[in-house]
Amino acid sequence: MKILADILSATIVFTVPLLLVALSGMFSERSGVVNIALEGIMVVGALFSCLFLRALDAAGWGATHPQTGVLLAILVAGATGALFSLLLAFASIHLKADQTIGGTALNMLAPALAITVTWAIQGQGQTTILIPTWVRITQANFGIEVKDTFLQNLVFKSLYLTTLLAALFLVVTIIVLYKTIFGLRLRSCGEHPQAADSVGVNVYRMPYAGVFISGFLGGIGGMAYTVAAGSGFQSSVAGYGFLALAVMIFGNWKPLNILGASLFFALFKIIGSYSGSIPFLPDFSNVKSSEYIYLMLPYIVTMIVLVLTSKKSRAPKAEGIPYDKGQR
């Protein structure tokens, strides 16, 4: 039962960054801007949030107000991710630059920026920013004591504020996207900007808003990944930004579908990590470098799923096409 609780707990923890970043990409693409810079946005959000957590820990304030410190770090991650994403928005909307090239450039810039900043603060060769232990939510935060071992491992072994906020962001996303005028205008810019412009929607401001929200959620997703990984920030998010793009496509740009896809991919990642502890999985010990077989599982599944579902996926019609008022 312990291994089951550990697998379920870890699956939830790794679902959170996938969910946040896939929702991030959805907001951008629903507004008409292709955002493949999710990986870079995650790196920037993780970098500055971890630096902020480290500063709080050094000041001694984080240990006395742990979850307030984590909440402030989440805001830092979101703000820096949003500011970084505005580079893509400016290039794509105002300069009408190729959005794929712009996103690729930001993905290349972010790790270099992270290494430079980390070396400047910690010294050359020091690329890891350790995360304080007080970021995790414990039973003491709720003033309770859970004696059931299964429930303890499932809920409190890897419970973070980012997990609770991800659930809140999912609900807010559904409401904003489908129940508000803002959401209708955002979706109209991604489907038919000419029609949106003809009824008075600002087809330049709405994509900016979509990319800004995308950056905010992506930055928080970067922090959520770093917290989930547990080893500190190492100038990378291990390709999770690209995996989140696959989740977004598999989820057909719809929030609830994206939640299901995030759980699906996170489960396969955790199965790969816990493969040695799951008795019914085949043993490849006689194969050279067999430890990597199950670690490849989530990425292999990603490719297979995309091949099987890509024809049925329906992207926003106007995504990736810079709006031209003269075009009809």
- Per-residue pLDDT tens for 242-256? 989 989 988 889 999
The dotted CATH code for 2-309 is 1.10.3470
Give the pTM: 0.89
Q: What is the pLDDT of residue 145?
A: 59
| 49-65: pLDDT as tens digits | 999 998 998 888 877 88
Per the DSSP assignment, residues forming a β-bridge with 160 are 136
Q: What is the mean pLDDT of the chain?
A: 85
Residue 35 has pLDDT above 60, yes or no: yes
Calpha distance 132→53 (Å, rounded): 7
- Its sign, for the CA torsion 207, 212, 216, 222, is positive
Specify whether the CB–CB gap between 107 and 39 falls below 8 A: yes
Give residue for tokens 């039962």.
1
Residue 328 has pLDDT above 60, yes or no: no
Rounded mean pLDDT of 157-175?
89
Neighbours of 21 (CB within 10 A): 36
Where is mean pLDDT largest: 74-78, 117-121, 192-196? 74-78
Per-position DSSP letters for 40-84, written without gaps between them: HHHHHHHHHHHHHHHHHHHHTHHHHSHHHHHHHHHHHHHHHHHHH
Rounded mean pLDDT of 202-217?
95
Q: What is the pLDDT of residue 241?
A: 93
The amino acid sitting at 221 is G
Residue 8 has pLDDT above 90, yes or no: no
1 vs 108: which has the higher pLDDT = 108
Task: Give the dihedral of Cα atoms 224, 229, 230, 232; nearest 10 deg.
Answer: -80
Per the DSSP assignment, residues forming a β-bridge with 233 are 129
Q: What is the pLDDT of residue 268?
A: 82
Structure tokens at 74: 């989440």
What do you get for the CA distance between the two ends of the chain, in Å?
61
Structure tokens at 3: 């291994």
